[in-house]
């Protein structure tokens, strides 16, 4: 088993890098805070005898040799970047849980057959550079490296430039080595495990998700002199679309969600009728056919809204991550590991995207979930129990060892 | 009469300071661009033999002596600051039209009885520091100087610090001298004069206006894992309030307007259900009783929306500028001046706030409007005809001379 105390100490220690007054973490990808936590990660893994490298997308790999150097590694991983107002656990539990596994192997001197590799993926959150899971996407061949390097944040800074600026643009091409299996430990980020009193979620897949960017074009005009009937108010049209996104999600059953998370109003002055609004839409459902139906429904409503309001519309689908079904053998390893400890568990589909969703395209993959308080995530108050996190790392350890002898 | 060509040249020349690619002007108050246009203004007035000073709020005064130094000045003025995406005329026509008047007096060597003073008011737009007409408000005793100096922009920069930084925090206390009369030339910023083929609007008053600031507090949560029914989405509640503002304006007759111009969404990340939204509301009507009724109607709707959505609300009225009725004698001077030229004209109530609205509290005051294309203002495409602008300056000149001998 892993050292749960050391794992919890690691969580609290890294939470200081970008720690917020409200007890959360603000550690956007490729910022100074990200650089600091990467250095911490490299030092911690090196201390356990691992070789630490990073590739051309800045993904960090800590490798512990196995008996047979010709075998591809069994990998674990997640991410250390956070949302602007993120918590101490999302992603972090997966990386530091993997570190706890390496520590357990190191302490016992256990020799695995495969090399064991722990990965810290760049830009999982998609908060600074859209879309999410960008660097694992490049690793898995979903995006080309060039398109990823050319992504810009909302200030127009290129991903490639930000990566170089923190010193993590490596020489090794992203995706250069095969992987025997990939396991990712994560908090559930939803309410189900806690509500049902389960310690472990055996993750069978990830729901489908699509992101859109919209620009509405009206006409800047004076708030005091422009009669209501002569306005082309882009924010009013955006308000109606925000309501429509919610209505579409509610109309497609209890598993459908729809969100407007990002919105920029222009020129954003109190006495100017807004002439332009840029915003994002996020649609999700476990069934890809329902995601497609949601999109069709929403597009029809949006057309109606902008036509009625006399507002110009540009709308692009900027991300499409179809539903993922994880590898049965990996799932079996996680189930066997969970049963060996007797942890209360259930099967679960992930509502959030994860690097595992892309790794599943190039390697046998699955995930292990542990509960988080109230299902709250992407919030500074995100919280999880030390015992649950240690249990998740224990399952990760035994699942990896199970896959190693498979 | 004034030199219309010189006036138009001045308009084009100042429009280069903060000029935008789309032909508009971005010259937010107390920025480097504002400093440059102030220097231009001081130099231009000095060249006409005027003494140029500025007071503790940064208001600039260009004074041409009269025969009787004991008399208070007859004043003209407006502002040279603009909206973030503003035009070349809003405010500017009033200052440069006043400059054209000074130039005509200088060229002819005409001696007035009163000193004549041209004023460039600080922060009329209210785009950077709310509310609008802040510095004329201090001059008129509506706000204390201290509360004005302590206002902050959306980046938290203090008005007083920004004023000192551009070198315009003068020694003379704002509002230290009495004024015999105040005349302000301005584009209408609305569609009426153009639609009716009138050159001059004889402004009888300004409508009532109120500004509000709202903060909605929901709960940041994950866009993929938080069921629609478990969300506290501050942006969705804001969307409903934006719709309600429009509905309230439409419900209170054709002269009522309501606008949400400024909105900040937090944390503003694509995959986070927004936990906090800050936004402004602007309500206006020529009749103060209707403004009050609009506020009551809107407050009731907002209460309902936030209660239904389980969202926290902070709402403050941050500005209340009641309807203004201008001075009959000044209006008579403008009417006589207009008639003397035979310009087609009509009486009009201003939909926009102006420094004249506050000056009316401490001096006999009125305004002169000229048409602008399509009634469009607070827009980079704002436009006016050289002939109309010159006509307005001619009326300003004769109205000032009429008041001088009254
Ligand atoms: N795990 C996680 O929060 N990933 C971010 C990608 C998404 O699901 O929006
Ligand atoms: N004239 C003008 O646009 N003033 C700004 C104040 C307002 O009316 O909102």
3-state secondary structure of B188: coil
Contact B315, B214 (CB under 8 A): yes
The distance between the two most distant Cα atoms of chain B, rounded to a whole number of Å, is 78
* Test the B interface: residue of A189, A226, A241, A353 with most B CBs within 10 Å: A226
Number of cross-chain residue pairs from A and B with Cβ atoms under 8 Å apart? 255
Does the annotation flag A320 for ligand binding? no
Residue nearest to atom 6 of ligand 2 (CA): B353
Distance A133 CA to ligand 1 centre (A): 8
DSSP code string of B316-369: EEEEEE--EE--HHHHHHHHHHHHHHT--EEEEEESS--HHHHHTTTS-EEEEE
Provide, as residue numbers in chain A, all residues whose Cβ is less than 8 Å from the Cβ of B353. Answer: 224, 271
Does the annotation flag A90 for ligand binding? yes
* Test the A interface: residue of B153, B270, B349, B382 with most A CBs within 10 Å: B270
* Test the A interface: residue of B18, B24, B205, B224 with most A CBs within 10 Å: B224
Provide, as residue numbers in chain A, all residues whose Cβ is less than 8 Å from the Cβ of B85. Answer: 220, 266-267, 272, 275
Residue nearest to atom 3 of ligand 1 (CA): A352
Distance B354 CA to ligand 2 centre (A): 6
pLDDT 10s digits, B146-200: 999 999 999 999 999 999 999 999 999 999 999 999 999 999 999 999 999 999 9
Contact B390, B200 (CB under 8 A): no
Q: How far is B327 from chain A (nearest CA, A)?
A: 22
Distance B219 CA to ligand 2 centre (A): 35
Cβ–ligand 2 distance for B125 under 6 Å, the answer yes
**pLDDT of amino acid A383:** 98
Contact B242 A239 (CB under 8 A): yes
- Nearest CB to B267; choose among A84, A211, A352: A84
Mean pLDDT, residues B131-136 taken together:
98
Contact A221 B378 (CB under 8 A): yes
Contact A379 B219 (CB under 8 A): yes
**pLDDT of amino acid A46:** 98
Residue nearest to atom 7 of ligand 2 (CA): B353
Nearest-angstrom CA–CA distance, B334 and B352: 19
Give the closest ligand to the alpha carbon of residue A224.
2
Does the annotation flag B186 for ligand binding? yes
- Nearest CB to A225; choose among B223, B239, B351: B351
Give the closest ligand to the alpha carbon of residue B224.
1
Q: How many CA atoms lie within 13 A of A256 on its CB side?
A: 21
Cβ–ligand 1 distance for A132 under 6 Å, the answer yes
Contact A235 B260 (CB under 8 A): yes
Does the annotation flag A325 for ligand binding? no
Distance A123 CA to ligand 2 centre (A): 44
Provide, as residue numbers in chain A, all residues whose Cβ is less than 8 Å from the Cβ of B321. Answer: none
Provide, as residue numbers in chain A, all residues whose Cβ is less than 8 Å from the Cβ of B250. Answer: 228
Provide, as residue numbers in chain A, all residues whose Cβ is less than 8 Å from the Cβ of B264. Answer: 268
In chain A, which residues have pLDDT < 50?
none
Contact A222 B190 (CB under 8 A): yes
Contact B271 A256 (CB under 8 A): no
Provide, as residue numbers in chain B, all residues whose Cβ is less than 8 Å from the Cβ of A282. Answer: 223-224, 270-271
pLDDT 10s digits, B281-301: 999 999 999 999 999 999 999
* Test the B interface: residue of A83, A223, A255 with most B CBs within 10 Å: A223
Give the closest ligand to the alpha carbon of residue A90.
1
Q: How far is B402 from chain A (nearest CA, A)?
A: 30
Contact B271 A259 (CB under 8 A): yes
pLDDT 10s digits, B328-347: 999 999 999 999 999 999 99
Residue nearest to atom 5 of ligand 1 (CA): A125
Cβ–ligand 1 distance for A210 under 6 Å, the answer no
**pLDDT of amino acid B406:** 86
In SS3 terms, chain A reads as CCCHHHHHHHHHHHCCCCECCCCCECCCCCCHHHHHHHHHHHHHHHHCCCEEEEECCCCEEEEECCCCCCCCCEEEEEECCCCCCECCCCCHHHHHHHHHHHHHHHHHCCCCCCCEEEEEECCCCCCCCCCCCHHHHHHCCCCCHHHHHCCECCCCCEHHHHHHHCCCCCCECCCCCCCCEEEEEEECCCCHHHHHCCCEEEEEEECEEEEEEEEEECECEECCCCCHHHCECHHHHHHHHHHHHHHHHHHCCCCCEEECCCEEEECCCCCEECCEEEEEEEEEECCHHHHHHHHHHHHHHHHHHHHHHCCEEEEEEEEEECCEECCHHHHHHHHHHHHHHCCCEEEEEECCCCHHHHHCCCCCEEEEEECCHHHCCCCCCCCCCHHHHHHHHHHHHHHHHHHHCC
Both tokens assigned to A297: 């429904």
- Nearest CB to A85; choose among B188, B220, B249: B220
pTM: 0.96
Provide, as residue numbers in chain B, all residues whose Cβ is less than 8 Å from the Cβ of A203. Answer: none
Contact A233 B256 (CB under 8 A): no
Distance B283 CA to ligand 2 centre (A): 13
**Chain A CA closest to residue B261:** A270
Provide, as residue numbers in chain B, all residues whose Cβ is less than 8 Å from the Cβ of A250. Answer: 228
Cβ–ligand 2 distance for B90 under 6 Å, the answer yes
Contact B236 A246 (CB under 8 A): yes
- Nearest CB to A377; choose among B84, B225, B258: B225
Mean pLDDT, residues B95-121 taken together:
98
């Amino acid at each position: 088993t892993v050292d749960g105390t050391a794992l919890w100490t690691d969580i609290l220690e890294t939470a200081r890098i970008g720690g917020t007054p409200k007890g959360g973490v603000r550690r956007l990808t490729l910022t100074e805070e990200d650089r600091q936590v990467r250095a911490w990660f490299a030092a911690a893994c090196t201390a356990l005898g691992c070789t630490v490298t990073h590739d051309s997308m800045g993904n960090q790999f800590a490798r512990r040799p196995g008996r047979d150097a010709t075998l591809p590694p069994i990998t674990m991983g997640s991410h250390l970047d956070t949302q602007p107002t993120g918590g101490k656990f999302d992603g972090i539990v997966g990386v530091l849980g993997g570190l706890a596994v390496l520590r357990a192997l190191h302490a016992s001197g256990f020799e695995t057959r495969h090399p064991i590799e722990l990965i810290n993926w760049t830009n999982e959150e998609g908060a600074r550079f859209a879309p999410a899971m960008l660097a694992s996407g490049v690793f898995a061949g979903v995006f080309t490296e060039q398109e990823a390097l050319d992504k810009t944040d909302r200030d127009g800074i290129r991903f490639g430039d930000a990566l170089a600026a923190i010193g993590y643009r490596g020489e090794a091409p992203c995706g250069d080595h095969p992987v025997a299996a990939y396991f990712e430990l994560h908090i559930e980020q939803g309410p189900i495990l806690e509500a049902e009193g389960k310690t472990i979620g055996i993750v069978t897949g990830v729901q489908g998700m699509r992101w859109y960017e919209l620009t509405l074009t009206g006409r800047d005009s004076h708030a005091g002199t422009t009669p209501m009937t002569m306005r082309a108010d882009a924010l009013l049209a955006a308000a109606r679309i925000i309501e429509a996104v919610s209505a579409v999600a509610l109309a497609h059953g209890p598993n459908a969600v729809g969100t407007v998370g990002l919105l920029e109003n222009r020129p954003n002055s109190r006495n100017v009728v807004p002439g332009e609004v840029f915003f994002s839409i996020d649609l999700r459902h476990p069934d890809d056919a329902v995601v497609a139906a949601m999109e069709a429904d929403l597009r029809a409503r949006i057309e109606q809204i902008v036509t009625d309001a006399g507002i110009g519309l540009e709308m692009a689908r900027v991300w499409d991550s179809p539903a993922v079904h994880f590898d049965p053998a990996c799932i079996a390893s996680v189930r066997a590991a969970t049963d060996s400890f007797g942890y209360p568990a259930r099967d679960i589909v992930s509502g959030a995207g994860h690097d595992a969703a892309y790794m599943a395209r190039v390697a046998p993959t699955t995930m292990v979930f542990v509960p988080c308080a109230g299902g709250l995530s992407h919030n500074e108050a995100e919280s999880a129990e030390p015992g649950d996190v240690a249990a998740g790392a224990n399952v990760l350890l035994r699942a990896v060892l199970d896959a190693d002898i498979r």
